[in-house]
Structure 1
């Protein structure tokens, strides 16, 4: 088994989570962060109602300008000030918007983020007879 598998079934579960929840945009594109006015959201940002993320708050979503209802990727962030790791979904983001999101999330020396793109591999162990 590979250390990293971009498993199609994982992405299907994220799609189901996204599509079965209501998205609330609470920070529109080009608005400032509520705490840090130098941080400007490059796309709409919100959360999925009735979900729970790693921080016990609802699952966060970056919603881009493209028409799509599939989760195209996730951003994983490590924050040494908050001493946590966080996962955010990306939906409908262009390549440029993905880049802008990574710039937005990596501006500070205290937090760094990576982007994992959607894959469509089906691991051997997941195959049905």
Structure 2
């Protein structure tokens, strides 16, 4: 199974619960510039889920597209060698074009690269339901 992702519908349900049970604060609207790197322009609304904690001890980040919706459709996992960290960012309500723009945004510097994990709808044999 090398190179494949074991997708788990129960994982995505947990992310949906985080999204639905938290308020989303958009602090960087579509078209705004990154506060530190002015050449980076946000392709969709970007913000965070209040009352949550990500791996960096800050709230969980969210890219919110133009379609709306209350399900997490994908996550972006980024590795940043300047900050020496990895982060997970939720993607919700995005068109395919917006998802492509998010990936371009997250991969445009030599210091940070990201991958996309799309939502799956199957439960692996080892997974258990709650």
- Smaller-chain TM-score bracket: over 0.9
Structure 1: runs of 5 or more not aligned:
none
Q: How many residues were matched structurally?
A: 128
Corresponding residue for 2:36? 35
Tell me if the contact between 2:8 and 2:127 (Cα under 8 Å) persists in the aligned partners.
no
Report the Cα offset of residue 126 of structure 1.
2.8
Corresponding residue for 2:62? 61
Corresponding residue SS for 2:10: helix
Runs of 4+ in 1 over 4 A off after TM superposition: none
Structure 2: runs of 5 or more not aligned:
none
Corresponding residue for 1:101? 102
Q: Considering only aligned residues, what root-mean-square deviation do their CA atoms show, in Å?
A: 1.5
TM-score by length of 2: 0.94
TM-score by length of 1: 0.95
Tell me if the contact between 1:5 and 1:121 (Cα under 8 Å) persists in the aligned partners.
no
Please give the alpha-carbon distance, in whole angstroms, between the structure 2 residues aligned to 1:64 and 1:91.
6
